[in-house]
Amino acid sequence: MKLFALVLVACVGCRGSGRAEDRELAEFRDAYPESASPTGVVRSFDLVAAPTTLPLVDGKQLEVWAYNGQVPGPTLRVKLGETIRVRFTNKLPQETTIHWHGVRLPNAMDGVPHITQKPVQPGETFTYEFTPKDAGTFWFHPHVRASEQVERGLYGVLVVEDPTPPPYSRELVWVVDDWLLKDGAIYPEFNTRHDLAMDGRWGNAITINGRTDTVVKVQPGERLRIRMLNSSNGRVYAPDFGELDARIIAVDGLYLRAPIDVRGFELAPGNRIDVDVTFDKSAETPFEVIDRFFAQRPNTLARFAVEGALVTTPSFPSPARATVPRWADALSAPIAHTFTLDVKSGGPFGISWTIDGMAFMGHEHAMPPAATLTRGQFVRLHFTNASPRIHPIHTHGMFFRLLARNGQPVDEPFFRDTVLIHAREEIDVGVVPTDAGTWMLHCHILEHAEAGMMTTIDVVEPR
């Protein structure tokens, strides 16, 4: 495991200067590896994106766009250290790319059209190959016209397994999505004035793995790991497991310092949580998982039917990450950049979502980076949401830790790649970028992103 030797050596000279950034970097140094450690094993997959018809939502046939003929697409599984090679073929009527959300990988494999690669035209093939640096729950989706392509069904989960996976009775992958349907079809207008002015496209059917009627049969005593992903364009979920003993062990792929209660976690578009849930031996009632993002309008996401013979509950401590820095005095570090999130009229949609006053006019019109960061150094970034809407802000190629909301310190015991910023809220985050390149930073409400709320940050080598 290669850590931040280079940067730490460079820091000997600045010892004693007492800079908060240096203390935060020292605290970070064992949090996660700087580089991948490839074992030499290559896992190859073929992915084809194409229109198809599938029994989805309530089981009626629905015309969708799918990876390998399924929605969600196939769950790709590799072990940490294995190299993933995906031969991708585009059979859509539009150009596309695949972005590997949350994965720390070489910039050229990030799937951002015109910035890291040419878009993959209909009929063309492109091979993605990289070795993930982190075990965890990640996902993949197009980065071209995402508000349409993701909504039509193009997304899938990438699981990078621990070298020794914890011995859960079973593992489930739950992709939570919502669909805007009209007359049994995907509502064919995208980026509507309403979606753009509000919090994106919120659907009228909420599904787990494409179905509204999810019932999971479990045996009393079972202990499950549920990998949950929110692939919705705009909807936020606050999953509530009710009476069940359920805890979050990972956020956005990475284990927490220690597990936390699921209740109250805002699963915004792009976010993942891994939930550790045990079914009590005496439990006989059916259980429901309910979304309570709007307390007055709960949505049932899934049900558990407990039945069958008692099984022995696997007994092991919930997996955790040894080092998640507290960065207790990070708020005394200078702000490297303030990103101002706002809205203005004009632009191709009549309304533009902006970062620092600028609307990103498509990946093909490169704009200067909003900020330039140095690889291997700690920075504090500030976000001011000047708008009355919510923005789940996502960074490519790096994890950050939330430091404060509206100036109040928060000690989230985990890293993230996506954080929900509420209306008119300000937040601070700390980040140590580990990979040089041009990385996107954008709102994961896909309509906001499409209408301009995207920018880039450049990560450069230390001088």
Asked whether the bond before 142 is cis by omega within 30 degrees of 0, the reply is no
Query: Do 103 and 64 meet the contact criterion of CB atoms below 8 Å apart?
Result: no
Of 152, 272, 375, 394, which lies in the binding site for ligand C2O, with binding defined by CB under 6 A? 394
Q: Which does 416 bind (CB under 5 to 8 A by kind): Cu ion, ligand C2O, none?
A: none
For the beta sheet containing 125-130, the strands, ordered from the edge strand earlier in sequence to the opposite edge, are 60-67, 42-56, 83-90, 125-130
How many residues in the shown chain lie near ligand C2O by CB under 6 A?
Answer: 10
Give the closest residue to 398 by CA, choosing from 436, 366, 351: 436
Which residues neighbour 239 within 8 Å (Cβ) at sequence distance 6 or greater? 228, 262, 265, 267, 273, 275, 289, 290, 291, 292, 301
**What Rg do the C-alpha atoms of the chain give, in angstroms?**
21
Q: Which of residues 434-463 bind ligand C2O (CB under 6 A)?
A: 440, 442, 444
Nearest one of 449, 343, 438 to 393, comparing CA atoms: 449
Residue 123 gets the label, from left (phi > 0), alpha (psi -120 to 50) or beta, of left
Of 143 and 152, nearer to ligand C2O (C-beta) is: 143
The CA distance from 85 to 62, in Å, is: 30
Q: Which is nearer to ligand C2O, 141 or 235 (CB)?
A: 141
- Please identify, using beta-carbon distances, which residue of 262 and 436 lies nearer to Cu ion: 436
Q: Among Cu ion, ligand C2O, none, what does residue 443 contact (CB within 5–8 Å per kind)?
A: Cu ion
Instruction: Look at residue 143 and give the partner it binds from Cu ion, ligand C2O, none, a contact being a CB closer than 5 to 8 Å depending on partner kind.
Output: ligand C2O
User: Per-residue contact track with ligand C2O, 85 to 124, x per CB under 6 A?
Assistant: --------------x-x-----------------------
Select 116 or 352, whichever has its Cβ closest to ligand C2O. 116
Q: Of 85-104, which residues contact Cu ion (CB under 5 A)?
A: 101
All residues at 6 or more sequence positions from 56 whose CB lies less than 8 Å from its CB, including other chains: 62, 64, 71, 153, 179, 207, 210, 211
Q: Which does 442 bind (CB under 5 to 8 A by kind): Cu ion, ligand C2O, none?
A: ligand C2O
Among 270, 325, 397, 433, binds ligand C2O (CB under 6 A): 270
Binding site for ligand C2O (CB under 6 A): 99, 101, 141, 143, 270, 394, 396, 440, 442, 444
Footprint of Cu ion (CB under 5 A): 101, 391, 396, 443, 445, 448
